[in-house]
């Protein structure tokens, strides 16, 4: 097994490495001190197994999984100090975790389960469990405050409140933030489900708009509207979304 160790604490990374040193079938391919580095290494190294700290500043363990969820996920053993939601979610989705501080016996047990699953070719099952874990977390913490987008080799965290509008660009969505825009590999429908409905309004099958950025709304023909944003951007709606826009107009009157 090719393993990656992710933890913002050097002593924690060293302890995992020391425990793995006795495992003849495990190769440590790298370690990461933060979530952003972890995402990059997972994509570059394609490890079979990741020891992933949950509580890290800026980009935590769940953010790491969100960033790579479109890719082939490795097996994951989480490490966490007491986190009530995390423990419930891990148990519910049969995901292995180590509760800090953990002993050698507990470590070996979690590693043994991961080893058995990988040898049995149950990677797809583990991926589904991780997706279910993220879905459970999304239900608990309904709307994210930031979106993770890729800019070259780096990850950028865009505050949701800063997004002006979103449209479809091939197999991606393009997030418009002021004069800049970023691509995100996600459908508009799934993204709209992750954004607060009181702030973001679907006006077209390929367009989502931040209602706080709307400066004026102009009725057009056949139940459509032209929405002009604070920066002058003009966006057209379709008849399908007439009721939602009329509700927005009524709320502002």
| Residue-wise pLDDT tens digits, 11-28 | 999 999 999 999 999 999
The pLDDT mean for the chain works out to 86
Per-residue pLDDT at 89 exceeds 70? no
User: What is the DSSP secondary structure assignment for residue 24, as one 8-state letter?
Assistant: T
pLDDT at 68: 79
Is 39 in a helix, a strand, or coil? Answer: helix
How confident is the model at residue 206, as a pLDDT?
92
Residue matched to tokens 């952003």? 36
* pTM given for the model: 0.58
Least confident of 99-103, 131-135, 204-208, 223-227: 131-135
Tens of pLDDT, residue by residue over 231-240, are 999 999 998 8
pLDDT band at 127 (very low <50, low <70, confident <90, very high): confident
Confidence of residue 85 (pLDDT cuts 50, 70, 90): low
The separation between the first and the last C-alpha atoms of the chain, rounded to the nearest angstrom, is: 62
Phi first, then psi: give them for residue 113, nearest 5 degrees. Answer: -65, -40
Angstrom distance (rounded) from CA 106 to CA 109: 5
Higher local confidence (pLDDT), 26 or 249 = 26
pLDDT confidence of residue 171: 82
Of 39, 130, 23, 151, which is closest to residue 4 (Cα–Cα)? 39
Tokens of 250: 């009524």
Determine the pLDDT at residue 32.
95
Domains of the chain, earliest start first:
2-140 (3.40.50.2300), 146-252 (2.40.50.1020)
Predicted confidence at residue 130, as pLDDT, reads 79
> What pLDDT shows up at residue 63?
81
Q: For residue 178, what is the DSSP state? A: T
Note whether 85 and 140 are within 8 A (CB).
Answer: yes
Beta bridge partners of 200: 210
What is the predicted pLDDT for the residue at 231? Answer: 93
Distance from C-alpha of 205 to C-alpha of 240, rounded to nearest angstrom = 9
Banded pLDDT at 137 (limits 50, 70, 90): low
Strand order in the sheet with 214-219: 214-219, 225-229, 234-236
Residue pair 37/56 in contact by the 8 Å Cβ criterion: no
Over residues 154-175, the mean pLDDT reads 91
Q: Are strands 225-229 and 2-6 parallel, antiparallel or unpaired?
A: unpaired
């Amino acid at each position: 097994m090719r393993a990656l160790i992710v933890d913002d604490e050097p002593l924690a990374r060293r302890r995992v490495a020391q425990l793995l040193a006795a495992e003849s079938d495990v190769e440590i391919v790298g370690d990461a001190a933060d979530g952003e580095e972890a995402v990059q290494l997972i994509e570059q190294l394609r490890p079979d197994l990741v020891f992933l700290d949950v509580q890290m500043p800026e980009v935590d363990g769940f953010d790491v999984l969100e960033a790579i969820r479109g890719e082939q996920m490795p097996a994951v053993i989480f490490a966490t100090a007491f986190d009530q939601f995390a423990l419930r979610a891990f148990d519910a989705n049969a995901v292995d975790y180590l509760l800090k501080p953990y002993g050698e016996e507990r470590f070996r047990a979690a590693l043994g389960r991961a080893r058995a699953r990988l040898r049995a070719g149950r990677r797809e099952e583990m991926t589904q469990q991780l997706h279910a874990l993220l879905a459970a977390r999304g239900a608990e913490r309904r709307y994210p405050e930031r979106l993770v987008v890729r800019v070259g080799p780096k990850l950028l965290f865009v505050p949701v409140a800063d997004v002006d509008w979103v449209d479809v660009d091939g197999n991606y969505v393009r997030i418009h933030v002021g004069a800049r825009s970023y691509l995100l590999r996600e459908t508009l429908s799934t993204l709209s489900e992750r954004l607060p409905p009181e702030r973001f309004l679907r006006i077209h099958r390929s367009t989502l708009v931040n209602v706080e950025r709307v400066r004026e709304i102009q009725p057009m023909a056949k139940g459509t509207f032209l929405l002009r944003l604070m920066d002058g951007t003009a966006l057209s709606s379709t008849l399908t979304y007439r009721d939602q826009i009329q509700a927005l107009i009524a709320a502002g009157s």
